[in-house]
Amino acid sequence: MANRWKNTLTERDITPEAAYLDRRRFIGAGIGLGLMGLAGTARSETLEPNPWEDITQYNNFYEFGTGKDDPARNAHTLTTDPWTVRIDGLVDKPGEYAFEDIMNAMTVEERIYRFRCVEAWSMVIPWNGFELADLLAMAGVQSGAKYVAFETLYRPEEMPGQRFPVLKWPYVEGLRLDEAMHPLTIMATGIYGKDIPNQNGAPLRLVVPWKYGFKSIKSVVRITLTDTQPPTAWNTALGSEYGFYSNVNPQVDHPRWSQASERVIGGGLFARKQPTLMFNGYEEEVASLYAGMDLRENY
């Protein structure tokens, strides 16, 4: 897959994945930790990314069907060029931003993040993307803004799942402004240095690594700054099970299953289980956002 956007190019466009993984081990040895910045690697452990196949063949993207392999099979129908993102609400410069213009203004970097679905499975994904805070700064956040609302494309001709009322379409999500501005929160445009595949939310999707995967809304076409908490797709569908915050929390179980551990994707039938970490391992970075809050109440 060729890169469409010049500044999404990384060294891995010319480096085979195997060499890339070697470099990761090198970094794990303690050299180049500075590179990782806030990418959650302050913890001593080194994250080993899942292979490309895991990340792009096992997906949740209900606009293309509810089976894990449906998105990979069906998402080729999605047209991602041209693409615009409407940024509106409480911003100084509302408007339709062309994806190319966004990419030219943003600095794309690599973030290797844990990714934990509310269904109790997880992967490690090497995203390429930019901080959401930088995009919001470009639009100029006004002082009255308290929340950020996100919306996925609604295009049933290309998204066959939208012909069925599985969720209320379009898929919507939301963050508190401080969560949206946190440096760990990114808009991802690539994986392993390649353009993000359609099934993973091309051409740009949110990634909030300390929250359950469904908060990381795909194929975003609209971002709205508001002063009231916006509705979210899964909360609207089943509010008793999916809250607005949806922070990864091994101590607060889903009403129908435990969140204490997770199945690591890969490894087939003998898939490994591992304990789930508070805030998905990003506690040091984000716990202060929720100081004094009852996380059981605010699930």
Ligand X SMILES: Nc1nc2c(c(=O)[nH]1)N[C@H]1C(S)=C(S)[C@@H](COP(=O)(O)O)O[C@H]1N2
Site string for Mo ion, 146-185 (x = CB under 5 A): ----------------------------------------
Helix, strand, coil proportions of the chain in percent (round to 5)? 30, 25, 45
In the complex, the smallest distance separating the C-beta of residue 110 from ligand X, rounded to whole angstroms, is 16
* Residues of span 128-187 touching ligand X by CB under 6 A: 152, 171
135 in helix, strand or coil?
helix
Nearer to ligand X, 141 or 210 (CB): 210
Interface stretch with Mo ion, choices 37-45, 102-110, 115-123, 285-293 (CB under 5 A): 115-123
Q: How many residues belong to the site for ligand X (CB under 6 A)?
A: 16
Enter the DSSP assignment of 67. Answer: S
Tell whether residue 171 is among the known ligand binding residues: no
Nearer to Mo ion, 88 or 119 (CB): 119
**Does 196 contact Mo ion by CB under 5 A?**
no
**Does 208 contact Mo ion by CB under 5 A?**
no
In the complex, the smallest distance separating the C-beta of residue 8 from Mo ion, rounded to whole angstroms, is 25
- Can you tell me which of 114, 182, 211, 218 binds ligand X, judged by CB under 6 A? 218
In the complex, the smallest distance separating the C-beta of residue 234 from Mo ion, rounded to whole angstroms, is 9
**Does 62 contact ligand X by CB under 6 A?**
yes
Nearer to ligand X, 27 or 83 (CB): 83
With CB atoms as reference, the residue minimizing the distance to ligand X is 213
Cβ-proximal residues to 216 (8 Å cutoff; 6+ apart), any chain: 115, 173, 201, 205, 206, 207, 208
Nearer to ligand X, 89 or 201 (CB): 201
Instruction: Give dist(CA 204, CA 55) in Å, integer.
Output: 16
Q: How many CA atoms lie within 13 A of 218 on its CB side?
A: 23
Instruction: Give dist(CA 29, CA 39) in Å, integer.
Output: 16
**Does 233 contact Mo ion by CB under 5 A?**
no
- Which residues are paired to 88 by β-bridges? 224
Enter the DSSP assignment of 171. Answer: P
Instruction: Give dist(CA 196, CA 185) in Å, integer.
Output: 17
* Bond preceding residue 156 cis, omega within 30 of 0: no
Instruction: Give dist(CA 280, CA 275) in Å, integer.
Output: 10
- Which residues are paired to 186 by β-bridges? 131, 207
Residues that bind ligand X (CB under 6 A): 59-63, 117, 152, 171, 200-201, 213-214, 216-219
Residues that bind Mo ion (CB under 5 A): 60, 117, 213-214
Binding-site entries for Mo-molybdopterin: 59, 62-63, 117, 152, 200, 205, 216-218
